[in-house]
Amino acid sequence: MTGFVSFFRRLEGPQTVGRGPAFWSLFAIVLAIGLAYPLFSDGYTVGNTVYFFVWVFIALSLCLIWGYGGSLSFGQTAFFGIAGYGYGVLTLNFGAAYGFTLIAFVAAVAIAALFAVLLGYFMFFGRIAGVFLGIVTLAVTLMLERFMAQTAGPEWHIGSARLNGFNGMSAMPPLTIPWPGEPIVLFADVGLYYFVLGLLVFVYLALRILMNSSFGNVIVAIRENPERAEMLGYDVRKYQLITFVIGAALAGISGVLYTAWGQYITPSSMGMTAAALPLIWVAVGGRSDLTSTVVGTLVVLAAFQALTIYGSQYALVFMGVLLVLTVLIAPNGLVLGAMNWLGRLAARLTRRAS
Amino acid sequence: MSLLELRKLNKHFGGLHVTNAVDLTLEPGEIHCLIGPNGAGKSTLFRLILGEHHPGSGEIFFAGENITALKSFARIHRGLSVKFQVPGVFKGLSVRQNLEIALQSRHRGAELEAEISRLLGFLGLESEQAQMAGNLSHGQKQWLEIGMAISLRPRLLLLDEPTAGMSPEETHMTGEMVQHLNADGMTVLAIEHDMAFVRQVAQRVTVLHLGQVFAQGSIDEIVADERVAAIYLGQAHA
Ligand SMILES: Nc1ncnc2c1ncn2[C@@H]1O[C@H](COP(=O)(O)OP(=O)(O)OP(=O)(O)O)[C@@H](O)[C@H]1O
Ligand SMILES: [Mg+2]
C-alpha cells in the first residue's frame, strides 16, 4: 500500500516542473477542455488536431534522450519510420480483423525498439558520445531514407505489401478496435482523437513517474557528469541504452499513429527536414522538462501550420528564427523559461500575501 | 591479506612514462598518503586503480581479487570509492539530489530521506541542500563530493587532494572526518599537497616522483629524508 502511494508521489519531483494543487488543477482544466473539444468542433478540425498530438510522442522521445539524458540523437525519425513502415507492412498483409491493427501497433513499436537495442548497443557500449552520437544517428536516418526511396520496383515487397520507393506506402487500414457486433474503426476524427489523447496522457504521466524515480535520477546524473555517475557504481552504458530504447519506442508510437492517421508513410518522413523539426520543437519548448516539451511542441506545430497557409518556405524560415531566438533569449527553452518565471512570480505573490 | 596491491603498474601517454613499475600495498584499516611534486603521476595512479585508465602492464589486486580487467562501476561494487581532484559533483542538480543519487542504491523511502538528512548534517550543508551544486564554493563542493564518495560505505576510499581550496580550519576538520571514517574501519588512500593534513592523518606515506615510488615510510621518516626535500626544492627552482 505504501509502495503504491509512493509510486504516485513520483508524479512530482525535481525532474519535472509543476507541483501542488495549483498545477494539478490546471492540468485537470486543460484535460477537461481537451475532452470536451470535439463536442464544439467539426470532424475535420478534430482530425487535424490529432495530427498535432501524433508528433508529441517523438518530441517526448527527444526530451528523454537529449533533454534528460544529454545525448543528442538525430535518429528519432529513423525509429518513427521503422515503426510506420512496420505497421504498414503488417496490416497490409494481415488486415484489420480480430483487432490485428492493435497487435500490429505494438509489434511495429517493438521492432523500432529492437532496432534501437542493436544500434544503441553498438553506440553506447562502443562509448560513442557527444557529437559523434549525433553524426551516427543522423547517418542511420538518412541511410534508411535513401534505402526506402529506391524501393520503387515491384521486386521490393514484403508479403503482399509493396514498398513503392519514393512515393511510399498507402492504403493501410486505420486502427480498429474489435467490438461485439461492429468493430470500431478509428478514422482520423473523433474516435482517433480520444484514443491518441488517452495514450498521450498515459505516456506523459508515466514519464513523469519514471523521471522522478531513482532511474530518472541516474539519467540526469549521467547528463551532468557521466564519470561521476560511473564512480557511484552505475553502469552508465546500460542506463543510456535503456533510455535510448524507451525513446525509440516513443518515436515508434508517433510513427504508427502518423501512418494510421493518414493511411500513408513515405521515406521523406525520415529525411533531413523531418529529423530537424522535432529538435526545434523540443529546443524551443524546453528539452529538460516533459511539460515544456508537450506545450512547446503543440504551440510551435500550430504556429507552423498557421504560417504554412502563406507558403511553407516562410514557415521553415520562421522555425529557424524561433530556434535562434530561443538560443539567445532562453537557452533552456521558451516555455520552460516562462513557466519558471511564473513559478517565481507566484511564490513572490504568496509570500507578500502572507 | 592486504586490501589493495599494485604490482608493477606501467602507464604511458605517448612518449611520457607516467607510472613506472609502481608497486604499492595498502593494509586494511590504514590511512595512507600519496605525495609528490606536480605531474608525478598521482592522479593517473588513481585512475588506474579505478579502471578509468588501463595499465600497459602490471596488475591490480583488491581484497585478493585481480581487478585489472574490471570495468569501473564493477570496481565500485567491490568496495572502492573516490573523490576526484577536480570536484565532480552534478552541477545542475541540487545538493540534496546529489546525495540522493549517491545513496539511493543502498537505501529507499523514509530510510533514504533520513540518511540524506544525516549526511547533510555531517557535511554541514543543511542550509545549502536546495542550492544547485554548481553554486557551492570550491570547499563546499569538495565536502559534497566526499559525502557522495563515503555514501557508498567503501572499504577503500580514494581522496585526490581533498583539502584543496580549504582554509586551515576546514582542512583540519576534513582531517578529523577522515580519522572518524577510519575509526569505523574505512581504509583511506589520500593524495595531498598540504603537509599539515598529511601530518594529521597519515600512518604511512608514499612519495611518487616521475612516475616511480621514490620513498616510503612514516611521515617523520619522509620529512627527514633529504632526497625527498631535494625533489620538492628542485621543483621550486624549475
Ligand atoms: N589523459 C592524459 N593524456 C596525456 N597526458 C596526461 C593525461 N593525464 C595526465 N597526463 C600527464 O601525465 C603526467 C602525470 O599527471 P597526473 O595528473 O597523474 O599528475 P599528478 O601527480 O596528479 O599532478 P598534480 O599534483 O598536479 O595533480 C602529467 O605530465 C600530465 O600532463
Ligand atoms: Mg593530480
- In this complex, which of A2, A224, A233 lies closest to B93 when CB atoms are compared? A224
Asked whether the beta carbons of residue A221 and residue B104 sit closer than 8 angstroms, the reply is: no
Chain B contacts to A (CB-CB under 8 A): 50, 52, 71-73, 76-77, 81-82, 84, 88-94, 97, 100-102, 104-105, 109, 145, 148-149, 151-152
What's the B17 CA to ligand 1 centre distance in angstroms?
Answer: 10
State in Å, rounded, how far the first CA of chain B is from the last one.
Answer: 42
CA of B161 to the centre of ligand 2 (A): 8
At a CB cut-off of 8 Å and minimum separation 6, what does B211 contact?
A: B11, B17, B18, B19, B20, B22, B40, B41
Helix/strand/coil for A14 = coil
Task: Supply the CATH classification number for the domain B27-54+69-89+153-237.
Answer: 3.40.50.300
Render each residue's pLDDT in chain A as its tens digit; 354 residues: 566 777 788 899 999 998 888 899 999 999 999 999 999 998 888 998 999 999 999 999 999 999 999 999 998 999 999 999 999 999 999 988 888 999 999 999 999 999 999 999 999 999 888 889 999 999 999 999 999 989 888 888 898 888 888 888 988 999 988 888 888 888 878 999 999 999 999 999 999 999 999 999 999 999 999 999 999 999 999 999 999 999 999 999 999 999 999 999 999 999 888 888 999 999 999 999 999 999 999 999 998 888 888 777 788 888 888 888 888 888 889 899 988 888 888 888 887 776
- Give the C-alpha distances (Å, rounded to integers) separating A140 from A61, A150, A273, B43, B224: 17, 16, 15, 39, 64
Distance (Å) from CA B49 to ligand 2 centroid: 14
Question: Is residue B208 within 8 Å of residue B39, measured between CB atoms?
Answer: no
Residue A108 lies in a domain: yes
CB of residue B40 inside a 6 A radius of ligand 1: yes
- β-pair type (B204-209, B31-35): parallel
Residue contact B152–A233, C-beta within 8 A: yes
Note down pLDDT in tens along chain B; length 238 residues: 899 999 999 999 998 999 999 999 999 999 999 999 999 999 999 999 999 999 999 999 999 999 999 999 999 999 999 999 998 999 999 999 999 999 999 999 899 999 999 999 989 999 999 999 999 998 899 999 999 999 999 999 999 999 988 889 999 999 999 999 999 999 999 999 999 999 999 999 999 999 999 999 999 999 888 888 888 766 654 4
Contact B189, B158 (CB under 8 A): yes
Domain containing residue A108: 8-149+169-267
How close A233 gets to chain B, by Cα (Å)?
A: 4
pLDDT in the model for residue A111: 98
| Beta carbons of B90 and A14 less than 8 Å apart | no
Of A175, A173, A205, A171, nearest to A191 by C-alpha is A175
Which residues lie below 8 Å from residue A166, measured CB to CB, with a gap of 6+?
Answer: A149, A152, A266, A267, A268
Contact A224 B92 (CB under 8 A): yes
Which ligand 1 atom is nearest residue B45's CA? 18
Distance B34 CA to ligand 2 centre (A): 10
* Whether the CB of B235 sits within 6 Å of ligand 1: no
How distant, in Å, are the alpha carbons of A136, A139, A248, A279 from that of A132? Answer: 6, 10, 18, 17
Shortest CA gap A225–chain B (Å): 6
In this prediction, residue A7 carries a pLDDT of 77
Long-range contacts of the stretch A196-203 (C-beta < 8 A, 24+): A196/A50, A196/A53, A196/A54, A196/A257, A197/A34, A197/A35, A197/A53, A199/A253, A199/A257, A200/A53, A200/A56, A200/A57, A200/A294, A201/A31, A203/A57, A203/A60, A203/A250, A203/A253
Chain B closest-CA separation from residue A60 CA (Å): 21
What ipTM was estimated for this complex? Answer: 0.93
Give every CB contact of residue A300 below 8 A, 6+ residues apart in sequence. Answer: A280, A281, A284, A285, A319, A322
Residues 6+ apart with CB under 8 A from B122: B147, B177
In chain B, where are the structural domains located?
A: 27-54+69-89+153-237, 90-135
- A76 assigned to some structural domain: yes
Task: Flag if A232 and B97 touch (Cβ within 8 Å).
Answer: no
Neighbours of ion ligand 2 (CB under 5 A): B 43, 85
Q: What is the pLDDT of residue B118?
A: 95
- Find out whether B133 and B141 touch, Cβ atoms under 8 Å: yes
Strand, helix or coil for residue B18: strand
Q: For residues A108 and A172, give the distance between their C-alpha atoms in angstroms, rounded to a whole number.
A: 14
What is the model's pLDDT at position B238?
42
Q: Among residues A291, A289, A296, A295, which one has the least CA distance to residue A326? A: A296
DSSP state of A127: T
> What single-letter DSSP state applies at residue B29?
T
Q: Is B45 helix (H, G, I), strand (E, B) or coil?
A: helix
Nearest residue on chain B to A224, alpha-carbon basis: B90
Chain A interface mutation, best of B54, B70, B71, B72, highest count of A Cβ atoms under 10 Å: B72
**Burial of B130: CB neighbours in 10 Å, binned 0-12, 13-18, 19+:** exposed
Angle at A21 between CA A17 and CA A23, to 5 degrees: 35
Residue B85: DSSP 8-state: S
Q: How many helices (H) and strands (E) does chain B have?
A: 9, 10
Hunting for cell 545538493 — which residue is that?
B95
Work out how many domains chain A is built from and give that number.
1
Q: Which of B12, B42, B231 to mutate to test the pocket of ligand 1 (most atoms within 8 A of CB)?
A: B42
Looking at CA atoms only, how far is residue B222 from chain A in angstroms?
Answer: 32
| Per-residue pLDDT at A319 | 84
φ/ψ of residue A77, rounded to 5: -70, -25
Residue A236's region, left for phi above 0, alpha for psi from -120 to 50, else beta, is alpha
Q: What share of chain B is helix, strand, coil (3-state, %, to 5)?
A: 40, 25, 30
Which residues 6+ apart lie within 8 Å of A72 measured at CB?
A: A66, A133, A134
Q: Taking the mean position of all CA atoms in its chain, how far away is CA A83?
A: 13
Count CB atoms within 10 A of the CB of residue A43: 14
A190 occurs within a structural domain = yes
Please name which of A216, A211, A214, A4 lies closest in space to residue B104, comparing C-alpha atoms. A214
Do A235 and B152 make contact, defined as CB atoms within 8 angstroms? no
**Interface residue A7 vs chain B (CB under 8 A):** no
Number of C-beta neighbours around residue B141 at 10 A: 21
CB pairs under 8 A between A and B: 65
First to last CA, chain A: 36
Quick check: A231 and B93 CB within 8 A?
Answer: no
User: In this structure, which residue's CA is closest to atom 28 in ligand 1?
Assistant: B39
Does the beta carbon of B85 sit less than 6 angstroms from any atom of ligand 1? Answer: yes
Instruction: Classify residue B94 by its DSSP letter.
Output: B
Residue in the structure block whose three cell numbers are 509493396:
A162
d(CA A141, CA A151): 16
d(CA B196, CA A267) in angstroms, rounded, equals 68
Give yes or no for residue B60 CB within 6 A of ligand 1. no
Residue B187 CA from chain centroid, whole number: 10
Nearest CA to ligand 1 atom 17: B43
Which of B9, B10, B11, B18 maximizes ligand 1 atoms within 8 Å of its Cβ, making it the mutation to test the pocket?
B18
Partners of B65 in beta bridges: B62
A227:B88 CB<8 A: yes
Whether residue A347 lies inside any domain: the answer is: no
How far is ligand 1, taken at its centre, from the CA of residue B202, in Å? 23
Residue A279 near residue A146, CB atoms below 8 Å: no
Angle between helices A312-329 and A272-285 (to 10 degrees): 40
Q: Considering the domain boundaries, does residue A133 fall inside one?
A: yes
